[in-house]
Chains A and B, each alone.
Chain A
């Protein structure tokens, strides 16, 4: 099992159990354990551990282009670069969707 490690801005991670890929837009100083579909996320180039499956209780989905952060804490922000079925979470605490305010195009 993985242990929580400090995240790096720009880090690209993938789910081990579905198609989700993310990029870390803002990284907190404190370590976090990003999970997707109930399992730790891994470097985008790493091979998933064999035999893992998506936890049905953690399959609310991660839509591409959406940003997620910790609940009530802006220190972490990730952007979904490939959508998938798993729920993004810090350990077992689900990340929350950052509602983008619809702005008019200014440039």
Chain B
């Protein structure tokens, strides 16, 4: 069954309930269904074979998700923060896409055919003729989402209708929300959570409001004015909100806020404890999932948070840092590098199985093994009661503020500096961002009078001028040499180990973390 059925059910049962936007004057579920069918007609009239969405989150994205499904077209929300060339290259990888683009981003896509303005297209869906086509099969592709990837070329993750609907049916009760519920969406459309939130909230019958550009102040404002009951944030956003609340005495109170879900990156224990204190009436939910698993596969629920906070039992205390337990329909296995199953408590690679697990990439085929298991590349262990602890990426991707950064990308820039002989970039634990980017460089011999500190600072400034702020190293350290295996493989873990263990830093140049998310 296709994701269109999720909307069809909500629209048939609560047609007059507001689905999108403000309580007064928002779009109802019946209107969302009608406009999605009209939008499908508009997309098909362009003669494309897929849909690309280049824009911030908002009602037009929700309509586009269902319109694409009704039209039988795979849809791809794209990271509008990418440089123009990278953005264009990803669109070029899609099959004859109809492109929906925000007006203020249109100039970034010169020479594109089949282009719609998101606002113009949404307006047209009010009057265009609805279409009725055979519904998409389980096997039809619902979405292709690009990972930021660990290599230069991002991978296109294929999510089929069967994967996404399995996820929703297993984890959400139809119309579990009531008239007063409201979900606040602050994640961008190109994040798997940005897609999943459209589906789960629609099936739950929960009104959604959007915050396209996050600041702590605007988040608190919209949460107050829209009486938001459910919010989902990445840890970096939660940190900002908590800091704002701790500093401001006149911040709005949020009596309607019942649920705060966070995920997408590691959260620092101190931020979480401060958030729990800042919102004592809200239930906290830690969600863990991957693009390849159609969003959430493990949940640490409000009761778990309360138990962990209030307990003297070290086993329970530890679970505040856990991702919780598998959602229904999902199985976990922790395996060693040879594929052997590891017992509870032992760390290995997390493998997952279930109908929502897609594990498939455009042009590469399935990543599932013969029994349907998918290797997540995350290092994890599971305790005796099934609580999952994710310890980081199995590979070396740095996850800073929810954004994946390949060390190689940063190293390549560092190595273009004439004084840099060798470079390694690693992620170090960071309270605010989950991880911070640290570069360790080996400098070539020099006859300049500059000190090592001064040379490190030159390299740091050089990298900052050539990388987006979210990808520039926040510190650059100078070492005499980097550790390698005899076979020439860089020992990143050794670097991380020595950096997190020692307090007397070697020669370093550091900078304050950029004030905004960096883009």
Contact A104 B8, beta carbon cutoff 8 Å? no
**Which DSSP category, helix, strand, loop or mixed, fits chain A's interface?**
loop
Chain A residues with CB under 8 Å of B26's CB are: none
Chain A residues with CB under 8 Å of B173's CB are: 65, 100, 102
Contact B200 A107, beta carbon cutoff 8 Å? yes
Q: How far is the CA of A9 from the CA of B137 in the complex (A)?
A: 8
How near does chain B come to A103, taking the closest CB pair, in angstroms? 5
Contact A65 B301, beta carbon cutoff 8 Å? no
Chain A residues with CB under 8 Å of B201's CB are: 105
Chain B residues with CB under 8 Å of A101's CB are: 328
Enumerate 14 A-B pairs (CB-CB under 8 Å) in ascending A order. Answer: A9-B138, A23-B5, A25-B1, A64-B174, A65-B9, A65-B13, A79-B1, A102-B176, A105-B230, A105-B285, A106-B200, A106-B285, A107-B193, A107-B261
How near does chain A come to B478, taking the closest CB pair, in angstroms? 43
Query: Which residue of chain A has its CB nearest to the CB of B288?
Result: A106
Contact A103 B174, beta carbon cutoff 8 Å? no
Query: Contacts A105-B204, A107-B287 hold; do A65 and B165 have CB atoms under 8 A apart?
Result: no
- 8 A Cβ contacts from A25-79 to B: 25-26, 64-65, 67, 79
Choose from A10, A26, A100, A105 the contact partner of B135 (Cβ within 8 Å): A10
Query: Which residue of chain A has its CB nearest to the CB of B10?
Result: A65
Choose from A82, A100, A103, A107 the contact partner of B295 (Cβ within 8 Å): A107
Contact B169 A106, beta carbon cutoff 8 Å? no
**Which DSSP category, helix, strand, loop or mixed, fits chain B's interface?**
mixed
A92 contacts the other chain (Cβ, under 8 Å)? no
Q: How far is the CA of A104 from the CA of B355 in the complex (A)?
A: 20
How near does chain B come to A44, taking the closest CB pair, in angstroms? 11
Contact B263 A106, beta carbon cutoff 8 Å? yes
How near does chain B come to A77, taking the closest CB pair, in angstroms? 8
Contact A106 B261, beta carbon cutoff 8 Å? yes
Chain A residues with CB under 8 Å of B232's CB are: 106-107
How near does chain A come to B125, taking the closest CB pair, in angstroms? 24
- 8 A Cβ contacts from B70-124 to A: none
Query: Contacts A64-B174, A65-B175 hold; do A105 and B8 have CB atoms under 8 A apart?
Result: no
Contact B138 A10, beta carbon cutoff 8 Å? yes
Q: How far is the CA of A102 from the CA of B201 in the complex (A)?
A: 15
Chain A residues with CB under 8 Å of B169's CB are: 25, 67, 79
Query: Which residue of chain A has its CB nearest to the CB of B204?
Result: A105
Choose from A23, A64, A81, A105 the contact partner of B200 (Cβ within 8 Å): A105
Chain A residues with CB under 8 Å of B295's CB are: 106-107
